[in-house]
Amino acid sequence: MDPTPRCDAQLAAARARVRALVSAALEQGAPTAWFDELYREAAGDAARVPWADLVPNAALAAWTARPEALAGVRTAVVVGCGLGHDAEHLASLGLEVTAFDVSEHAIRWARTLHGGTRVRYEVADLFALPSAWRGAFDLVVEVDTWQALPRAVRAAAVAATRALLAPGGRLFVFARLRDDGPGAPPMDERRDGPPWPLGHGELARAVDGLTPVLPFRATPDAADPSIVRGLGVWRRT
């Protein structure tokens, strides 16, 4: 399937709407409240959701195409699954997939988009997940969700994501990155996002104690090298 066709003006409008919703949500101290509002307002038009490409993440697709990637993996969970294309990709590879999002409208939309799906789509909040999900998944997929959450809740988001890993389970992370070393400009949350890229140090702390499986790679965007994306896979021992 082709990515969502949209023109620059549509993307700019979608991003402007996100900024307005986020700024209200931050004022109210409710950092995840705006997602459902955005999906609701989009009313089935994916061009109004800036990250909704309607295709699986290319890095996830490339990694899962490696013969060793999914060896021993039976169950997977997709964190902040949005419209579900990463989840559907994993299900197409034969995995038993749970995909959750805090937004009811996103989950309803995903179920409609992928009628007859084998994916178990659930409305669930990363910060209050069912206890049965703790340590239950051989593969945990995080694509662009941590970076959509403000710093105040980010460590909690990382901890909740890691808690989903079964012993020996793999964590796939794809996210924008920023320099957070000495001398790097501080991030201004109200001006600079979302997304709020993860600092390299922050990412290192997020995967501390896990064993690297796929060496971490940071790649500048071909069209805009100021945007750097990173991906890596780690294993819980």
Ligand X SMILES: C[S@@+](CC[C@H](N)C(=O)[O-])C[C@H]1O[C@@H](n2cnc3c(N)ncnc32)[C@H](O)[C@@H]1O
126 binds ligand X (CB under 6 A): yes
Candidates 68-76, 122-130, 202-210, 220-228 — which segment interacts with ligand X by CB under 6 A? 122-130
Figure out which of the listed residues 46, 87, 91, 106 binds ligand X, where binding follows CB under 6 A: 106
The residue among 58 and 68 lying less far from ligand X, judged by its C-beta, is 58
DSSP one-letter string for the chain: -PPPP--HHHHHHHHHHHHHHHHHHHHTT-TTHHHHHHHHHHTT-GGGSTT--SS--HHHHHHHTSTTTTTT--EEEEET-TT-HHHHHHHHTT-EEEEEES-HHHHHHHHHHTTT--SEEEE--GGG--GGGTT-EEEEEEESSGGGS-HHHHHHHHHHHHTTEEEEEEEEEEEEEE--STTPPPP-TTTS-SS-PEEHHHHHHHTTTSEEEEEEEEEE-SS-TT-EEEEEEEE--
Candidates 94-102, 131-139, 163-171, 179-187 — which segment interacts with ligand X by CB under 6 A? 94-102
198 binds ligand X (CB under 6 A): no
Figure out which of the listed residues 88, 138, 144, 202 binds ligand X, where binding follows CB under 6 A: 144
35 binds ligand X (CB under 6 A): yes
Candidates 8-16, 80-88, 180-188, 201-209 — which segment interacts with ligand X by CB under 6 A? 80-88
The residue among 176 and 236 lying less far from ligand X, judged by its C-beta, is 176
| Number of residues located near ligand X, criterion CB under 6 A | 20
Residues forming the site for ligand X (CB under 6 A): 32, 35, 51, 57, 80-82, 100-103, 106, 125-127, 143-145, 148-149
